[in-house]
Amino acid sequence: MATSQHLPNGNGNGSIVRPSSTEQDEEENIFLFFPNLIGYSRVVLAIFSLYYMPVHPRTCSLLYSISCLLDAVDGWAARKFEQSTKFGAVLDMVTDRCTTSCLLVFLASAFPRWSLVFQGLISLDLASHYMHMYATLSMGGSGQSHKKVDESRSWVLKQYYSNNKVLFTFCCLNEVFFIALYLLSFSSPFLSPTLLRDASSPSSLNPGSPAAPKPSMLFTSPFSAGAMEMARANKMDSKLPWTLAVLSFPVMFGKQWINVIQLIEASKWLAEGDREKRRKDGLPRAKYNKKQL
C-alpha cells in the first residue's frame, strides 16, 4: 500500500503531505503509446496488402501505400505526445524492412530474369540497416539513436537522417518505384507478357506442356500462379505506372547508394570499436610481449 510523507512546511506549522514514490512513478505502458499503435496499424495494413498482392493490384497498392504513409504519421505523433521510444524506433524500422522485402520478393517472382537484382536489393537493405543500428547501439551508447549521425563520420548520412523532409522523400519515392513496378507486372506486356493463350486462337503445343486448355480447367484456386496470369490478362492502363517508375527511379537509385554508404560506415565504426577493444585487452599478445622485452 502506498504511504505518504509528512514534512514540515516553510514556517514550521503543520505539515505538507507528499505522495510516495509509488504514487509518483506510475508505470507507463509503452506498447500503448500513440506512435506504437500507429505502428501496429501499419503492420495490419501491410498484411492485408500481401493478401491481395497476387490478384488485386489496385487494392494491394492502396493498402500498401497507406501503410507506408503512416510511417510519417507515427514520427509526428512521437514528437507531438513526447512518446519517442526505442521500441517504437525498432518497430518502425522492422516494419519498413519487412514490407519492402515482401514486395521485392513478389517482384522477383513476377520478373524472374531480374530476380538476382531484387535479391541483391533485399540483402543490401537488410544488411545496411541492421549493421547501422547495431553499430549505433553498441558504439554510440544507450542514449544514441540510429538517426543521430555525426557529420564527421558521414556527411551524406547526416543530411539523410537529420532532415525529416529529405528522409521522407527518399523513403516515399523508393517505395513508389517498387509499387510502380508491381503495377507494371499486371499492365505492361513488355515487362510481363501473359502466358495464357487467347481461346479464339488455334491451340498449339508448348515445349514441355500440353495444348493450352481453358484457364478455368487448370486454375481452380484464386491464389494460384494461373490466377495471377488471369489477373494480368485484364490489362490495366500502364501510362501512370510507367510515369511513376521513371520519375522515382533517380531517388530510388540514390536510396540504394545511401544504403551502400551506410553499410560501409557502419562497418568502419564497428572495426574502430574492435581495434580499441583489442588494444585495451593487450591483443595480439605476441606484439605486446615483444614490446615488453
Q: Which of 74, 92, 96, 125 is catalytic?
A: 96
Is-catalytic flag, 92? Answer: no
* Residue pair 145/92 in contact by the 8 Å Cβ criterion: no
First to last CA, the chain: 66
Closest listed residue to residue 68, CA positions, set 156, 151, 182: 182
Distance, in Å, from the CA atom of 134 to the CA atom of 120, rounded to the nearest integer, reads 21
* Residue pair 131/268 in contact by the 8 Å Cβ criterion: no
* Residue pair 42/71 in contact by the 8 Å Cβ criterion: yes
Burial of 227 (0-12, 13-18, 19+ CB in 10 A): middle
Closest listed residue to residue 260, CA positions, set 185, 184, 160: 160
Distance, in Å, from the CA atom of 219 to the CA atom of 148, rounded to the nearest integer, reads 52
- Measured between alpha carbons, how far is residue 259 from residues 53, 83, 120, 160, 265 in Å? 26, 28, 12, 11, 10
In sign, the C-alpha dihedral spanning 209, 211, 212, 216 is negative
Distance, in Å, from the CA atom of 106 to the CA atom of 176, rounded to the nearest integer, reads 15
Q: Which residues are catalytic?
A: 96
